Amino acid sequence: MIIKRFVSLFRTTGFKVIAFLALLATSVLIALAMLLGNEAGQFVIRVRDDSLQKSIALTTDLEDEYKPVLQAPGMTGMADYSAEYFIKLGYDDLDEITATTGQYLNEGSSLYAYTFYIVNTTPDGSNVGIDVAMNYSKVTKDVHKVIRIMTYAYSTNTSVPEIYQAAEEEGSEIDYVKDYGYVIEPILFKSEDVAEGVVFDNQHYTIGTTASESATRINYMKYSVFFWLEGNDPECDEDIMGGTIKFDLTVSVSM
């Protein structure tokens, strides 16, 4: 009798509904966990939510669909490097590296780059001002002190590479051109909190402007981000190179 009642319970409509809802909830939690776990180990680039309706989007292929989020693969085992090896006057090396969109990793696993397009999708093709911000988090072993980040915004009327780094130790005086061979003077991070901080928050561009009346309007901008561990930095030793750091980049319409 107990067995029959137990079997009957499984046949009731109420139990089926409860079982379905439990299965649905479990599936949602699993999917969410997979999404968060996947994003946690990647360099995430996203359009800020309140800008999605203001006609900007992201893509690595202008012939493909535009997206609000791009997820670039992360990397491990990064070796030390220096900007003097790939940044020369005229930026020919940068143009070669960024000729192909998506992920770039040099042969020695010492230079990581990701190139994509920020697209102006306004129906009337009018100019759009955009702001780009980058944050870092989940820092271990103070690796943020030796990492260097360079952004390279490129369009018909813009060619602006900029390097960012944390401040050097107090009292340290470095001539980046003479001592490191740099051709671009680094800009300091906005925040140096070890747990999380701001690399920059005020990169501003306009998509859609033209150099002259006769120039063809191009409603997108190619944007690249480079990462490397500065081997010339005295703090770049074996201990610090075993650290971790996570970056995310946000694109929004200028307010």
Helix (H, G, I), strand (E, B) or coil at 150: strand
Q: Domains of the chain: which residue ranges?
A: 1-40, 42-253
By DSSP bridging, strand 246-253 and strand 43-47 are parallel
pLDDT tens, residue order, the chain (255 aa): 444 443 444 455 554 444 444 444 433 332 322 333 333 357 899 998 766 566 899 999 999 999 999 998 888 888 899 988 888 877 888 889 999 999 999 988 899 999 999 999 888 778 888 999 999 999 999 999 999 999 999 876 677 899 999 987 665 677 777 777 788 889 999 987 776 899 999 899 988 766 566 666 678 999 999 999 998 888 888 888 778 899 999 999 986
Residue 127 CB partners (closer than 8 Å, separation 6+): 120, 206, 207, 208, 209
pTM recorded for the entire structure: 0.79
Report the distance separating Cα 124 and Cα 220, nearest Å. 14
Burial code (b: 16+ CB inside 10 Å, e: under 16) for 19-34 equals eeeeeeeeeeeeeeee
Residue linked to tokens 């968060």: 36
